[in-house]
Structure 1
Amino acid sequence: MIFNYIKTKLTLPCIVLLLSLSSCVTKKEVVYFQNAKDFETIVDTDTFAPKFKVNDIVSIFVSTFDIEAVAPFNLYIGGNQNSNPQLIDYLVDIDGNIDYPVLGKVKLLGLTVEEAKLLFKEKLSDYLKDPIVNIRILNFRISIIGEVNSPGRYDVSGERITILEALALAGDLNIKGKRENILVVRDFNGTKTYTRVDLTNKELFNSPVYYLTQNDIVYIEPNNSARSSASGDTRIGTIISISSFLITTALIFVTRN
Protein backbone atom coordinates (compact mmCIF):
# COMPACT_ATOMS: atom_id res chain seq x y z
CA MET A 1 0.00 0.00 0.00
CA ILE A 2 2.80 2.39 0.87
CA PHE A 3 4.53 1.48 -2.36
CA ASN A 4 1.45 2.33 -4.48
CA TYR A 5 0.88 5.55 -2.57
CA ILE A 6 4.40 6.83 -3.14
CA LYS A 7 4.35 5.77 -6.79
CA THR A 8 1.08 7.67 -7.38
CA LYS A 9 2.19 10.78 -5.54
CA LEU A 10 5.45 11.02 -7.47
CA THR A 11 4.25 10.03 -10.93
CA LEU A 12 1.02 12.08 -11.26
CA PRO A 13 2.61 15.53 -10.71
CA CYS A 14 5.31 14.68 -13.24
CA ILE A 15 2.73 13.74 -15.87
CA VAL A 16 0.73 16.92 -15.26
CA LEU A 17 3.87 19.03 -15.55
CA LEU A 18 4.92 17.36 -18.80
CA LEU A 19 1.50 17.93 -20.34
CA SER A 20 1.48 21.58 -19.33
CA LEU A 21 4.85 22.14 -21.00
CA SER A 22 3.81 20.47 -24.25
CA SER A 23 0.44 22.28 -24.54
CA CYS A 24 1.72 25.75 -25.38
CA VAL A 25 -0.47 26.62 -28.39
CA THR A 26 -4.07 27.68 -27.75
CA LYS A 27 -7.04 27.47 -30.09
CA LYS A 28 -7.14 31.26 -30.38
CA GLU A 29 -3.68 31.26 -31.93
CA VAL A 30 -4.54 28.94 -34.83
CA VAL A 31 -8.15 29.75 -35.86
CA TYR A 32 -8.47 31.91 -39.00
CA PHE A 33 -10.92 34.84 -39.43
CA GLN A 34 -12.03 34.82 -35.82
CA ASN A 35 -14.06 38.06 -36.10
CA ALA A 36 -16.13 36.89 -39.08
CA LYS A 37 -19.80 36.63 -38.06
CA ASP A 38 -22.23 33.92 -39.08
CA PHE A 39 -23.93 34.61 -42.44
CA GLU A 40 -21.89 37.79 -42.87
CA THR A 41 -21.46 38.80 -46.51
CA ILE A 42 -18.31 40.33 -47.91
CA VAL A 43 -18.57 41.60 -51.50
CA ASP A 44 -15.29 41.34 -53.38
CA THR A 45 -15.01 44.45 -55.56
CA ASP A 46 -11.28 44.05 -56.05
CA THR A 47 -10.25 44.31 -59.69
CA PHE A 48 -6.63 43.43 -58.97
CA ALA A 49 -4.46 42.44 -61.92
CA PRO A 50 -0.68 41.92 -61.88
CA LYS A 51 1.45 44.50 -63.64
CA PHE A 52 4.63 44.02 -65.59
CA LYS A 53 7.87 44.53 -63.70
CA VAL A 54 11.51 44.85 -64.72
CA ASN A 55 13.01 41.41 -65.52
CA ASP A 56 9.61 39.85 -66.24
CA ILE A 57 9.65 37.17 -68.92
CA VAL A 58 6.79 37.60 -71.37
CA SER A 59 5.24 35.33 -73.99
CA ILE A 60 3.42 37.06 -76.88
CA PHE A 61 1.53 35.35 -79.69
CA VAL A 62 -0.28 37.25 -82.45
CA SER A 63 -2.83 35.64 -84.74
CA THR A 64 -5.06 36.76 -87.60
CA PHE A 65 -6.74 35.31 -90.70
CA ASP A 66 -3.72 36.14 -92.84
CA ILE A 67 -1.07 33.62 -91.74
CA GLU A 68 1.65 35.06 -93.93
CA ALA A 69 1.07 38.62 -92.73
CA VAL A 70 1.36 37.63 -89.07
CA ALA A 71 4.51 35.52 -89.49
CA PRO A 72 7.02 38.38 -88.88
CA PHE A 73 5.47 39.05 -85.45
CA ASN A 74 5.81 35.48 -84.13
CA LEU A 75 9.44 34.49 -83.86
CA TYR A 76 10.36 30.90 -82.99
CA ILE A 77 13.48 29.43 -81.47
CA GLY A 78 15.63 28.20 -84.33
CA GLY A 79 13.63 30.34 -86.76
CA ASN A 80 11.50 27.43 -87.94
CA GLN A 81 7.93 27.01 -86.71
CA ASN A 82 7.60 23.48 -88.12
CA SER A 83 10.73 21.91 -86.64
CA ASN A 84 10.63 23.61 -83.26
CA PRO A 85 7.34 25.33 -82.46
CA GLN A 86 8.54 27.21 -79.42
CA LEU A 87 8.00 30.96 -79.37
CA ILE A 88 10.78 33.32 -78.37
CA ASP A 89 10.20 34.92 -74.98
CA TYR A 90 10.78 38.59 -74.25
CA LEU A 91 12.51 40.13 -71.25
CA VAL A 92 11.34 43.42 -69.77
CA ASP A 93 14.56 45.43 -69.59
CA ILE A 94 15.71 47.93 -66.97
CA ASP A 95 13.79 50.69 -68.76
CA GLY A 96 10.58 48.65 -68.80
CA ASN A 97 10.70 47.84 -72.52
CA ILE A 98 10.76 44.72 -74.64
CA ASP A 99 12.34 44.61 -78.09
CA TYR A 100 9.58 43.26 -80.33
CA PRO A 101 9.97 42.37 -84.03
CA VAL A 102 8.85 45.05 -86.51
CA LEU A 103 7.46 47.27 -83.73
CA GLY A 104 10.80 47.80 -81.98
CA LYS A 105 10.78 48.99 -78.35
CA VAL A 106 7.43 48.51 -76.60
CA LYS A 107 7.06 49.76 -73.03
CA LEU A 108 5.25 47.27 -70.78
CA LEU A 109 6.38 48.45 -67.36
CA GLY A 110 3.41 49.11 -65.07
CA LEU A 111 0.80 47.78 -67.51
CA THR A 112 -1.58 44.94 -66.79
CA VAL A 113 -1.89 42.08 -69.27
CA GLU A 114 -5.14 43.47 -70.62
CA GLU A 115 -3.63 46.93 -71.05
CA ALA A 116 -0.66 45.40 -72.87
CA LYS A 117 -3.03 43.54 -75.24
CA LEU A 118 -4.81 46.79 -76.12
CA LEU A 119 -1.46 48.51 -76.70
CA PHE A 120 -0.29 45.77 -79.07
CA LYS A 121 -3.58 45.75 -80.99
CA GLU A 122 -3.22 49.47 -81.49
CA LYS A 123 0.38 49.20 -82.72
CA LEU A 124 -0.36 46.19 -84.93
CA SER A 125 -3.36 47.81 -86.58
CA ASP A 126 -1.02 49.43 -89.11
CA TYR A 127 0.14 45.99 -90.26
CA LEU A 128 -2.67 43.51 -89.52
CA LYS A 129 -6.45 43.43 -89.76
CA ASP A 130 -8.26 42.50 -86.53
CA PRO A 131 -5.23 40.98 -84.78
CA ILE A 132 -5.72 38.75 -81.75
CA VAL A 133 -3.00 39.09 -79.13
CA ASN A 134 -2.27 36.60 -76.35
CA ILE A 135 0.17 37.68 -73.63
CA ARG A 136 1.35 35.76 -70.58
CA ILE A 137 3.76 36.45 -67.73
CA LEU A 138 5.98 33.36 -67.64
CA ASN A 139 7.88 34.07 -64.43
CA PHE A 140 4.87 34.30 -62.12
CA ARG A 141 6.36 32.52 -59.14
CA ILE A 142 6.03 33.00 -55.40
CA SER A 143 8.22 31.86 -52.52
CA ILE A 144 6.77 30.64 -49.23
CA ILE A 145 9.21 30.18 -46.38
CA GLY A 146 9.10 29.70 -42.63
CA GLU A 147 6.65 27.67 -40.59
CA VAL A 148 4.63 25.95 -43.33
CA ASN A 149 4.40 22.25 -44.05
CA SER A 150 6.01 22.48 -47.51
CA PRO A 151 8.13 25.62 -47.91
CA GLY A 152 9.43 26.34 -51.39
CA ARG A 153 9.03 28.24 -54.63
CA TYR A 154 5.79 27.73 -56.54
CA ASP A 155 4.81 28.49 -60.13
CA VAL A 156 1.44 30.19 -60.64
CA SER A 157 -0.43 29.06 -63.73
CA GLY A 158 -3.03 31.86 -63.79
CA GLU A 159 -2.67 35.63 -63.71
CA ARG A 160 -3.24 36.07 -59.98
CA ILE A 161 -3.27 34.15 -56.71
CA THR A 162 -4.41 35.03 -53.19
CA ILE A 163 -2.23 34.64 -50.13
CA LEU A 164 -4.62 31.95 -48.87
CA GLU A 165 -4.26 29.96 -52.10
CA ALA A 166 -0.49 30.34 -51.85
CA LEU A 167 -0.45 29.01 -48.29
CA ALA A 168 -2.61 26.10 -49.43
CA LEU A 169 0.05 25.25 -52.04
CA ALA A 170 2.57 25.10 -49.20
CA GLY A 171 0.37 22.74 -47.17
CA ASP A 172 -0.85 25.49 -44.80
CA LEU A 173 0.93 26.71 -41.68
CA ASN A 174 2.14 24.13 -39.22
CA ILE A 175 1.31 24.38 -35.53
CA LYS A 176 4.43 26.48 -34.93
CA GLY A 177 3.48 29.21 -37.45
CA LYS A 178 2.47 32.63 -36.13
CA ARG A 179 -0.80 33.44 -37.87
CA GLU A 180 -1.13 37.02 -36.62
CA ASN A 181 1.99 38.39 -38.29
CA ILE A 182 2.52 37.02 -41.81
CA LEU A 183 5.11 39.03 -43.75
CA VAL A 184 4.88 39.63 -47.51
CA VAL A 185 8.00 41.03 -49.18
CA ARG A 186 7.31 42.58 -52.57
CA ASP A 187 9.80 43.96 -55.07
CA PHE A 188 8.76 46.47 -57.70
CA ASN A 189 11.62 47.57 -59.90
CA GLY A 190 14.20 47.64 -57.14
CA THR A 191 11.93 49.04 -54.42
CA LYS A 192 11.00 46.54 -51.72
CA THR A 193 7.86 46.81 -49.61
CA TYR A 194 7.16 44.91 -46.40
CA THR A 195 3.53 44.27 -45.47
CA ARG A 196 2.20 42.25 -42.55
CA VAL A 197 -1.21 40.58 -42.40
CA ASP A 198 -3.19 38.77 -39.73
CA LEU A 199 -4.81 35.49 -40.79
CA THR A 200 -7.02 35.50 -37.70
CA ASN A 201 -8.71 38.73 -38.81
CA LYS A 202 -11.15 39.06 -41.70
CA GLU A 203 -9.53 42.40 -42.62
CA LEU A 204 -7.01 40.23 -44.44
CA PHE A 205 -9.36 40.38 -47.46
CA ASN A 206 -8.83 44.16 -47.67
CA SER A 207 -5.05 43.95 -47.52
CA PRO A 208 -3.01 45.20 -50.51
CA VAL A 209 -1.16 41.88 -50.43
CA TYR A 210 -4.23 39.65 -50.33
CA TYR A 211 -3.54 39.13 -54.03
CA LEU A 212 0.10 38.26 -54.58
CA THR A 213 2.23 39.42 -57.49
CA GLN A 214 5.07 37.68 -59.32
CA ASN A 215 8.14 36.96 -57.18
CA ASP A 216 6.47 37.87 -53.87
CA ILE A 217 7.98 36.25 -50.78
CA VAL A 218 5.66 35.10 -47.98
CA TYR A 219 7.35 34.51 -44.63
CA ILE A 220 5.71 32.83 -41.62
CA GLU A 221 7.61 33.39 -38.41
CA PRO A 222 7.54 30.92 -35.49
CA ASN A 223 5.24 31.55 -32.56
CA ASN A 224 6.28 31.66 -28.91
CA SER A 225 5.95 27.91 -28.42
CA ALA A 226 8.24 27.24 -31.39
CA ARG A 227 10.87 29.71 -30.19
CA SER A 228 10.97 28.01 -26.82
CA SER A 229 10.75 24.46 -28.13
CA ALA A 230 14.48 23.84 -27.91
CA SER A 231 14.70 24.94 -24.29
CA GLY A 232 11.39 23.18 -23.62
CA ASP A 233 12.75 19.90 -24.92
CA THR A 234 15.74 20.30 -22.63
CA ARG A 235 13.50 21.01 -19.63
CA ILE A 236 11.30 18.01 -20.39
CA GLY A 237 14.33 15.75 -20.63
CA THR A 238 15.62 17.05 -17.31
CA ILE A 239 12.23 16.59 -15.63
CA ILE A 240 11.97 13.02 -16.91
CA SER A 241 15.43 12.22 -15.58
CA ILE A 242 14.68 13.73 -12.17
CA SER A 243 11.30 11.99 -11.99
CA SER A 244 12.86 8.65 -12.85
CA PHE A 245 15.50 9.20 -10.18
CA LEU A 246 12.94 10.09 -7.52
CA ILE A 247 10.71 7.12 -8.33
CA THR A 248 13.68 4.74 -8.31
CA THR A 249 14.87 6.14 -4.99
CA ALA A 250 11.40 5.79 -3.50
CA LEU A 251 11.13 2.18 -4.69
CA ILE A 252 14.48 1.33 -3.15
CA PHE A 253 13.41 2.98 0.11
CA VAL A 254 10.12 1.07 0.22
CA THR A 255 11.80 -2.23 -0.61
CA ARG A 256 14.38 -1.89 2.14
CA ASN A 257 11.83 -0.86 4.71
Structure 2
Amino acid sequence: MNLRRYMICGAIGLAAFSCTPRQEINYMKDIESVALDNSIKNSRSTLQPGDQLIISVSAKDMDVVKPFNQNYSSSTTITQYSMPSSNNLPQQLPVSGPTYMVDTDWNINFPQIGKVVAKDETVESLKTKLVDLISKYVKDPAVDIKLVNFKISILGEVSRPGTYVIPDGNTTLPAALGLAGDLTPFGIRKNVLIVRNVDGKFTQERVDLTSAQFFNSPYYYLRQNDLIYVEPNEVREKAARIDPNTGLYISVASVIASIALGVLALTKK
Protein backbone atom coordinates (compact mmCIF):
# COMPACT_ATOMS: atom_id res chain seq x y z
CA MET A 1 0.00 0.00 0.00
CA ASN A 2 2.82 2.40 0.82
CA LEU A 3 4.43 1.77 -2.55
CA ARG A 4 1.15 2.38 -4.33
CA ARG A 5 0.61 5.59 -2.37
CA TYR A 6 4.08 6.79 -3.35
CA MET A 7 3.38 6.01 -6.99
CA ILE A 8 0.10 7.97 -6.96
CA CYS A 9 1.80 10.96 -5.33
CA GLY A 10 4.58 10.79 -7.91
CA ALA A 11 2.10 10.74 -10.80
CA ILE A 12 0.31 13.77 -9.41
CA GLY A 13 3.64 15.57 -9.03
CA LEU A 14 4.63 14.85 -12.63
CA ALA A 15 1.28 16.07 -13.89
CA ALA A 16 1.62 19.30 -11.94
CA PHE A 17 5.18 19.78 -13.21
CA SER A 18 4.19 19.34 -16.85
CA CYS A 19 1.26 21.77 -16.77
CA THR A 20 1.82 25.22 -18.27
CA PRO A 21 0.25 28.08 -16.33
CA ARG A 22 -2.52 29.78 -18.28
CA GLN A 23 -1.44 33.09 -19.72
CA GLU A 24 -3.12 35.79 -21.76
CA ILE A 25 -2.71 35.00 -25.47
CA ASN A 26 -5.46 37.15 -26.97
CA TYR A 27 -4.47 40.05 -29.21
CA MET A 28 -5.96 43.57 -29.27
CA LYS A 29 -8.95 42.81 -27.02
CA ASP A 30 -10.03 46.46 -27.01
CA ILE A 31 -9.61 47.13 -30.72
CA GLU A 32 -13.18 48.39 -31.12
CA SER A 33 -12.64 51.07 -28.50
CA VAL A 34 -9.44 52.47 -30.00
CA ALA A 35 -9.32 55.17 -32.65
CA LEU A 36 -6.83 54.20 -35.36
CA ASP A 37 -6.60 57.53 -37.16
CA ASN A 38 -3.23 58.37 -35.61
CA SER A 39 -1.65 55.27 -37.13
CA ILE A 40 -1.97 56.68 -40.66
CA LYS A 41 0.87 59.13 -40.12
CA ASN A 42 3.20 56.21 -39.32
CA SER A 43 2.14 54.03 -42.24
CA ARG A 44 5.24 54.70 -44.33
CA SER A 45 8.82 54.67 -43.11
CA THR A 46 11.35 57.18 -44.43
CA LEU A 47 14.28 56.09 -46.55
CA GLN A 48 17.59 55.45 -44.82
CA PRO A 49 21.24 55.36 -45.97
CA GLY A 50 22.00 51.98 -47.49
CA ASP A 51 18.52 51.47 -48.90
CA GLN A 52 18.66 49.88 -52.34
CA LEU A 53 16.10 51.23 -54.80
CA ILE A 54 15.07 50.05 -58.23
CA ILE A 55 13.69 53.10 -60.06
CA SER A 56 12.08 52.82 -63.49
CA VAL A 57 10.76 55.70 -65.57
CA SER A 58 8.14 55.20 -68.27
CA ALA A 59 6.04 57.32 -70.66
CA LYS A 60 3.99 56.94 -73.82
CA ASP A 61 7.18 57.28 -75.83
CA MET A 62 9.70 55.01 -74.11
CA ASP A 63 12.54 56.32 -76.28
CA VAL A 64 12.15 59.72 -74.63
CA VAL A 65 12.75 58.32 -71.12
CA LYS A 66 15.72 56.13 -72.02
CA PRO A 67 18.19 58.70 -70.62
CA PHE A 68 16.43 58.39 -67.24
CA ASN A 69 16.78 54.61 -67.18
CA GLN A 70 20.56 54.37 -67.20
CA ASN A 71 22.50 52.12 -64.84
CA TYR A 72 20.19 49.31 -65.85
CA SER A 73 21.16 46.01 -64.22
CA SER A 74 20.29 42.57 -65.48
CA SER A 75 17.59 40.57 -63.72
CA THR A 76 18.64 39.47 -60.27
CA THR A 77 17.02 37.33 -57.60
CA ILE A 78 16.49 38.41 -54.01
CA THR A 79 15.31 36.40 -51.05
CA GLN A 80 11.84 37.47 -50.04
CA TYR A 81 12.37 36.24 -46.51
CA SER A 82 14.51 33.66 -44.75
CA MET A 83 13.25 30.91 -42.49
CA PRO A 84 16.31 29.41 -40.76
CA SER A 85 14.23 27.32 -38.36
CA SER A 86 11.93 25.91 -41.03
CA ASN A 87 12.38 23.07 -43.51
CA ASN A 88 10.75 25.19 -46.21
CA LEU A 89 12.93 26.96 -48.74
CA PRO A 90 12.94 30.78 -48.71
CA GLN A 91 10.76 32.28 -51.39
CA GLN A 92 12.63 33.84 -54.29
CA LEU A 93 11.54 36.99 -56.10
CA PRO A 94 13.22 38.06 -59.38
CA VAL A 95 13.66 41.80 -59.68
CA SER A 96 15.36 43.94 -62.30
CA GLY A 97 15.81 47.57 -63.25
CA PRO A 98 18.07 50.58 -62.71
CA THR A 99 19.43 50.27 -59.19
CA TYR A 100 20.34 53.14 -56.89
CA MET A 101 21.74 53.25 -53.36
CA VAL A 102 20.86 55.95 -50.85
CA ASP A 103 24.27 57.23 -49.72
CA THR A 104 25.34 58.29 -46.24
CA ASP A 105 24.08 61.83 -46.92
CA TRP A 106 20.61 60.56 -47.93
CA ASN A 107 21.19 61.29 -51.62
CA ILE A 108 20.84 59.29 -54.82
CA ASN A 109 22.58 60.20 -58.08
CA PHE A 110 19.88 60.13 -60.74
CA PRO A 111 20.73 60.29 -64.47
CA GLN A 112 20.10 63.61 -66.25
CA ILE A 113 19.01 65.19 -62.97
CA GLY A 114 21.99 64.64 -60.69
CA LYS A 115 21.80 64.56 -56.91
CA VAL A 116 18.33 63.97 -55.48
CA VAL A 117 17.87 64.36 -51.73
CA ALA A 118 16.02 61.40 -50.20
CA LYS A 119 16.19 62.45 -46.55
CA ASP A 120 12.81 62.42 -44.81
CA GLU A 121 11.32 60.97 -47.98
CA THR A 122 9.19 57.83 -48.17
CA VAL A 123 9.06 55.68 -51.30
CA GLU A 124 5.84 57.41 -52.29
CA SER A 125 7.07 60.95 -51.67
CA LEU A 126 10.34 60.27 -53.52
CA LYS A 127 8.28 59.00 -56.45
CA THR A 128 6.32 62.25 -56.48
CA LYS A 129 9.53 64.29 -56.31
CA LEU A 130 11.06 62.43 -59.27
CA VAL A 131 7.88 62.81 -61.33
CA ASP A 132 8.03 66.57 -60.76
CA LEU A 133 11.71 66.74 -61.71
CA ILE A 134 11.39 64.57 -64.83
CA SER A 135 8.26 66.46 -65.94
CA LYS A 136 10.56 69.33 -66.87
CA TYR A 137 11.89 67.17 -69.72
CA VAL A 138 9.17 64.58 -70.41
CA LYS A 139 5.41 64.94 -70.68
CA ASP A 140 3.40 62.85 -68.19
CA PRO A 141 6.17 60.55 -66.94
CA ALA A 142 5.47 57.66 -64.60
CA VAL A 143 7.94 56.53 -61.96
CA ASP A 144 8.00 53.16 -60.22
CA ILE A 145 10.20 52.61 -57.13
CA LYS A 146 10.87 49.34 -55.32
CA LEU A 147 12.81 49.09 -52.06
CA VAL A 148 14.50 45.71 -52.42
CA ASN A 149 16.65 45.34 -49.30
CA PHE A 150 14.19 46.19 -46.52
CA LYS A 151 15.15 43.81 -43.70
CA ILE A 152 13.87 43.09 -40.22
CA SER A 153 15.06 40.58 -37.61
CA ILE A 154 12.74 38.61 -35.34
CA LEU A 155 14.21 36.75 -32.37
CA GLY A 156 13.04 34.99 -29.24
CA GLU A 157 9.83 33.06 -28.67
CA VAL A 158 8.52 32.86 -32.24
CA SER A 159 8.11 29.76 -34.37
CA ARG A 160 10.65 30.81 -37.03
CA PRO A 161 13.20 33.33 -35.74
CA GLY A 162 15.42 34.89 -38.37
CA THR A 163 16.03 37.82 -40.73
CA TYR A 164 13.29 38.63 -43.23
CA VAL A 165 13.51 40.71 -46.42
CA ILE A 166 10.31 42.59 -47.31
CA PRO A 167 10.36 43.45 -51.05
CA ASP A 168 7.81 46.27 -50.94
CA GLY A 169 9.50 47.92 -47.96
CA ASN A 170 6.29 48.20 -46.00
CA THR A 171 5.13 45.93 -43.20
CA THR A 172 3.55 46.04 -39.77
CA LEU A 173 4.47 44.37 -36.50
CA PRO A 174 1.58 41.84 -36.71
CA ALA A 175 2.48 41.01 -40.32
CA ALA A 176 6.14 40.49 -39.41
CA LEU A 177 5.23 38.19 -36.55
CA GLY A 178 3.03 36.31 -39.00
CA LEU A 179 6.05 35.71 -41.25
CA ALA A 180 7.85 34.29 -38.23
CA GLY A 181 5.01 31.88 -37.55
CA ASP A 182 3.52 33.91 -34.65
CA LEU A 183 4.58 33.79 -31.01
CA THR A 184 4.95 30.44 -29.28
CA PRO A 185 2.73 29.75 -26.23
CA PHE A 186 5.76 30.65 -24.11
CA GLY A 187 6.20 34.18 -25.54
CA ILE A 188 5.26 37.20 -23.43
CA ARG A 189 2.70 39.10 -25.49
CA LYS A 190 2.50 42.13 -23.25
CA ASN A 191 6.15 43.13 -23.48
CA VAL A 192 7.47 42.70 -27.03
CA LEU A 193 10.70 44.65 -27.53
CA ILE A 194 11.43 46.59 -30.74
CA VAL A 195 14.92 48.06 -31.25
CA ARG A 196 15.27 50.70 -33.98
CA ASN A 197 18.18 52.67 -35.41
CA VAL A 198 17.12 56.26 -36.05
CA ASP A 199 19.82 58.38 -37.68
CA GLY A 200 22.55 56.34 -36.02
CA LYS A 201 20.90 56.31 -32.59
CA PHE A 202 19.28 53.20 -31.19
CA THR A 203 15.84 53.52 -29.64
CA GLN A 204 13.64 50.88 -28.12
CA GLU A 205 9.97 50.42 -27.35
CA ARG A 206 7.93 47.84 -25.45
CA VAL A 207 4.66 46.87 -27.13
CA ASP A 208 1.61 45.18 -25.59
CA LEU A 209 0.07 42.98 -28.29
CA THR A 210 -2.98 42.28 -26.16
CA SER A 211 -4.05 45.94 -26.44
CA ALA A 212 -5.08 47.72 -29.62
CA GLN A 213 -3.38 50.86 -28.31
CA PHE A 214 -0.20 49.79 -30.09
CA PHE A 215 -1.91 50.67 -33.40
CA ASN A 216 -1.14 54.28 -32.51
CA SER A 217 2.51 53.55 -31.76
CA PRO A 218 5.21 54.68 -34.21
CA TYR A 219 6.48 51.11 -33.88
CA TYR A 220 3.35 49.54 -35.34
CA TYR A 221 4.74 50.09 -38.84
CA LEU A 222 8.24 48.65 -38.98
CA ARG A 223 11.28 50.34 -40.45
CA GLN A 224 14.49 49.24 -42.08
CA ASN A 225 16.64 46.99 -39.84
CA ASP A 226 14.16 46.90 -36.95
CA LEU A 227 14.80 44.12 -34.46
CA ILE A 228 11.86 42.42 -32.72
CA TYR A 229 12.50 40.35 -29.61
CA VAL A 230 9.86 38.26 -27.86
CA GLU A 231 10.81 37.42 -24.30
CA PRO A 232 10.18 33.93 -22.87
CA ASN A 233 7.86 33.56 -19.90
CA GLU A 234 8.82 32.01 -16.56
CA VAL A 235 7.82 28.53 -17.64
CA ARG A 236 10.26 28.60 -20.56
CA GLU A 237 13.04 30.08 -18.44
CA LYS A 238 12.60 27.43 -15.77
CA ALA A 239 12.54 24.71 -18.41
CA ALA A 240 15.82 26.03 -19.85
CA ARG A 241 17.45 25.59 -16.44
CA ILE A 242 16.30 21.99 -16.08
CA ASP A 243 18.68 19.13 -16.91
CA PRO A 244 17.95 18.18 -20.55
CA ASN A 245 17.99 14.54 -19.48
CA THR A 246 15.10 15.07 -17.07
CA GLY A 247 12.64 13.56 -19.53
CA LEU A 248 14.81 10.45 -19.81
CA TYR A 249 15.02 10.16 -16.04
CA ILE A 250 11.24 10.44 -15.73
CA SER A 251 10.73 7.77 -18.41
CA VAL A 252 13.13 5.38 -16.67
CA ALA A 253 11.45 6.03 -13.32
CA SER A 254 8.05 5.32 -14.85
CA VAL A 255 9.26 1.99 -16.26
CA ILE A 256 10.77 1.00 -12.90
CA ALA A 257 7.56 1.98 -11.12
CA SER A 258 5.47 -0.10 -13.53
CA ILE A 259 7.70 -3.10 -12.97
CA ALA A 260 7.52 -2.62 -9.21
CA LEU A 261 3.72 -2.46 -9.29
CA GLY A 262 3.63 -5.63 -11.41
CA VAL A 263 5.90 -7.47 -8.99
CA LEU A 264 3.78 -6.26 -6.07
CA ALA A 265 0.60 -7.52 -7.75
CA LEU A 266 2.16 -10.96 -8.35
CA THR A 267 3.39 -11.32 -4.79
CA LYS A 268 -0.10 -10.60 -3.45
CA LYS A 269 -1.45 -13.48 -5.48
- TM-score category of the 2 structures, normalised to the smaller one: 0.7 to 0.9
Q: Conserved in 2, the CA contact under 8 Å of 1:144 and 1:170?
A: yes
Higher fraction of strand: 2
**Kindly tell me: are residues 110 and 29 of structure 1, through their superposed partners in 2, closer, same or farther at Cα, counting changes over 3 Å?**
same
Q: Report 1:34-45 matches (<5 A).
A: 34=29, 36=30, 40-45=32-37
Q: Does 1:136 align with 2:146?
A: yes
Residue 164 of structure 1 deviates from its aligned partner by 0.9
Whether the 8 Å CA contact 1:69–1:128 is kept in 2: the answer is yes
Instruction: Write out aligned runs for 1:51-200 (5 A).
Output: 51-75=46-70, 76-77=72-73, 86-200=96-210
Cα distance in 2, alignment partners of residues 237 and 65 from structure 1? 72
Structure number with greater Rg is: 1
Alpha-carbon distance in 2 for matches of 1:157, 1:41: 33
Retained in 2: the 8 A contact 1:18–1:236?
no
Q: Could you say if the C-alpha distance between residues 14 and 232 of structure 1 is closer, same or farther in structure 2, counting changes exceeding 3 Å?
A: farther
Normalised to the residue count of structure 2, the TM-score between the two structures is: 0.78
Task: Give the CA deviation at 1:18.
Answer: 1.3
Contact 2:45 2:122 in 1 (8 A): yes
Gaps in structure 2 of 5+ consecutive residues: 75-94
Contact 1:55 1:91 in 2 (8 A): yes
> Which of the residues 7, 32, 44 maps onto 1:11?
7
Range with bigger deviation, 139-148 or 234-243: 234-243
Unaligned stretches of 5+ in structure 1?
79-84
- The normalised TM-score by structure 1 is 0.82
* Contact kept? 1:183, 1:194, Cα under 8 Å: yes
Contact 2:56 2:98 in 1 (8 A): no
| Secondary structure of 1:185's aligned partner | strand
Letter in 1 for 2:69: N
In 1: Cα distance, 2:198 partner to 2:59 partner: 34
The one-letter amino acid paired with 1:33 is M
Aligned-pair Cα RMSD in Å: 2.8
- Aligned CA distance change for structure 1 residues 130 and 9 (closer, same or farther; 3 Å): same
* Aligned position for 1:23: 19
Structure 1 residue 7: Cα displacement? 4.0
Distance 1:244 1:10, change over 3 A: farther
Determine if contact 2:191/2:208 at 8 Å carries over to the other structure. Answer: yes
Q: Does 1:206 align with 2:216?
A: yes
Aligned residues, how many?
242
C-alpha distance in 1 between matches for 2:63 and 2:224: 35
Taking the aligned partners of 1:232 and 1:13, their CA distance within structure 2 comes to 21
Q: CA deviation at 1:8?
A: 3.3
Distance 2:120 2:258 in 1: 71
User: Following TM superposition, by how much is the alpha carbon of 1:92 offset from its aligned partner in structure 2, in angstroms?
Assistant: 0.4
Distance 1:195 1:218 in 2: 10
Matching of residues 221-236 of structure 1 within 5 Å: 221-233=231-243
